[in-house]
Structure 1
Amino acid sequence: MDRLEIDLDYMRNVMLELLRTPSPSGRTDAVMQIIGDHLAELGLPMQVTRRGVLRATLRGETSDTARAVAVHADTIGCMVKRVKENGRIEVVPVGTHSARFAEGAHVTVFVDDLTQIYTGTVLPLMSSGHNFGEAVDTQGVGWHQVEIRIDEDVASAADVHDLGIRVGDFVALDAAPQITPNGYIKSRHLDDKAGLAACLAAVKALVDHDAVLPVDAYLLVTIGEEVGMGATHGLDDRVAELVAVDNAVVSEGQQSREDTVNIGMLDSTGPFDYHLTRRLIGLCEEHQLPYRRDVYRFYRSDAAPAIESGMEARTALVGFGVDSSHGHERTHLDGVQRIAELLTIYLTSPLTFSDWDEDPTGKLEDFPSHSVQPAEPEPETAPGRHG
Structure 2
Amino acid sequence: MQRVKFIDRMAQGKLSRRDMLQSAGAFGVGLIALPRLARAQGGPLTCLEWGGYDAEEYVGAYVSKHGALPDFSIFSGEEEALAKVRAGFAADVMHPCNYSVSRFVNAGLVTEIDTSKLSNWADVFPALQTAEGVVQDGKVVMAPADWGNSSIAYRSDLIDPAFVADPTWAIFYDEAYAGKVSMLDNEVAFQIGAMVGGMPYDEAYKLSGAALEEAAKTWGAKAVNVSRFLWNDPSEVQQAMASGEIVAAYAWNDLVKNLKAEGIPVEYAKPKEGMFTWFCGLTMLNSGKADPALAYDFIDAWLSPETGKYLIESSGYGHANMKSFEVADPAEVAAMGITDPEAMMGSSILFRTPTDEVQVEHNRVWGDIKALKM
TM-score range for the pair, normalised by the shorter chain length:
under 0.3
Larger strand percent: 1
- Structure that is richer in helix per residue: 2
TM-score with structure 1 setting the length: 0.26
| TM-score normalised according to structure 2 size | 0.27
Which has the higher Rg, Structure 1 or Structure 2? Answer: 1
